[in-house]
Amino acid sequence: MTSVWTGFRGHDDVRQSFARAAERGRLTQSYLFVGPEGVGKQLFARRMAQCLLCDRRTGSDLEACGECANCRPFLAGNHPDFLMVERDPGKRELNVAKFVGDRDQRGKAGLCHDLSLRSSGSRKVAIINDADTMNDEAANALLKTLEEPPDGAMLILVASNLDSLLPTIRSRCQLVRFGPLSDADVADLALQEEWATSREDARQLALLAEGSLAAARRLAAPAFRELRLRMLRELSQPQWDGIAVAQSVTKEIEQLGSDTAEQRTVAVWLLKIAVEFYRAALWRLGSPDDNPVGATIAEANAWADRVGTDIDRGVDLIGRLIERCLEAVAQLEQNVGIALCLEALCTDLSVAARVATPSR
């Protein structure tokens, strides 16, 4: 029998912990899965739910057959004992209607009502995705169910921001932390999903995504790819207008991000691309035939070659530029204005480009 976990990447420690709990009969009724966006929390929850509902599960393992009378409807998306709650498209919050019904059906619909109904088997499993976006009214409506969950019911809350959840919600769930995926896993998945055109392209995506598959998908979007390539071209030039480039890039960032938070994320990604550019240049200077980090950015190689034969001078300059980029990342994370931050940084980097080019 093929394992239900085949193809699932990362979080082996979490899976082993749940397998041990299942073997000992110590699964609880309320869990809170917390970790960065796009690391597989919801997918893990869904596969765990399938395992718990599978007819052929022995009770001492965490597997599912994929063929029984429970697995088939689960995989088809219509299992009566599997409940899924998430935000409506375009909405920023999980509202109270998701849990107790709208005003016309208050208490007669929603997750809390559905959990109270008799299951067709031995248990019900509910996943609350984006749980950290519940407004206070929704959280308070769910609280009573968390305090007294129906027999045979398991609730799994999935969240990226633990601090956004009410303390009363957090205290009634067993916390399960999910870390970032490895760069190798992100790169492999990017190739599998055809977001990357080569292993090197996938590696670059993984470095920027920092363990988040959701970030890798957004980084692979054509609009961001074009912005990334433009940034590399500008950085490699011997002379460029820092203010003009910053203003143009800021406009493109505003088009890529639907709100300020998303725009700030895109800006941080761009600055990390600049860091990778200068790291590649640093390897080119110090070890042109040995590149242990795989930094093969052609534009960076050309930039490094213009520094000339004064390696000490070049290493010192590049080190200061990396520090400057990381300083700008920290400023963005501290909510410094995007336009102001980029203008100051691009001015410094454009000056450095002229300094790096020896006079002829």
Please write the tens of the pLDDT for every residue from 29-78.
999 999 999 999 999 999 999 999 998 776 667 899 989 999 999 999 99
DSSP E strand stretches across the chain: 30-34, 82-85, 124-128, 153-159, 174-177
Domain annotation for the chain: domains and CATH numbers: 12-177 (3.40.50.300), 221-356 (no CATH)
- Give, as one character, the DSSP assignment of residue 94: B
Q: Under a CB-based contact definition with an 8 Å cutoff, are residues 73 and 61 in contact?
A: no
What distance in Å separates the CA atoms of residue 128 and residue 33, rounded to the nearest whole number? 10
Q: Under a CB-based contact definition with an 8 Å cutoff, are residues 166 and 136 in contact?
A: yes
Residues across the chain: 360
What distance in Å separates the CA atoms of residue 248 and residue 265, rounded to the nearest whole number? 17
Q: Under a CB-based contact definition with an 8 Å cutoff, are residues 21 and 147 in contact?
A: no
DSSP 290-346: --TT----HHHHHHHHHT-S-HHHHHHHHHHHHHHHHHHHHHHHTT--HHHHHHHHH
- Give the per-residue pLDDT at 294: 45
Please write the tens of the pLDDT for every residue from 292-327.
444 456 777 777 777 655 677 778 888 899 999 999
DSSP E strand stretches across 89-233: 124-128, 153-159, 174-177
Q: pTM, whole model, 2 decimals? A: 0.82
- Give, as one character, the DSSP assignment of residue 175: E
Look at the alpha carbons of 40, 44, 47, 49 in this order and tell me if their dihedral is positive or negative: negative
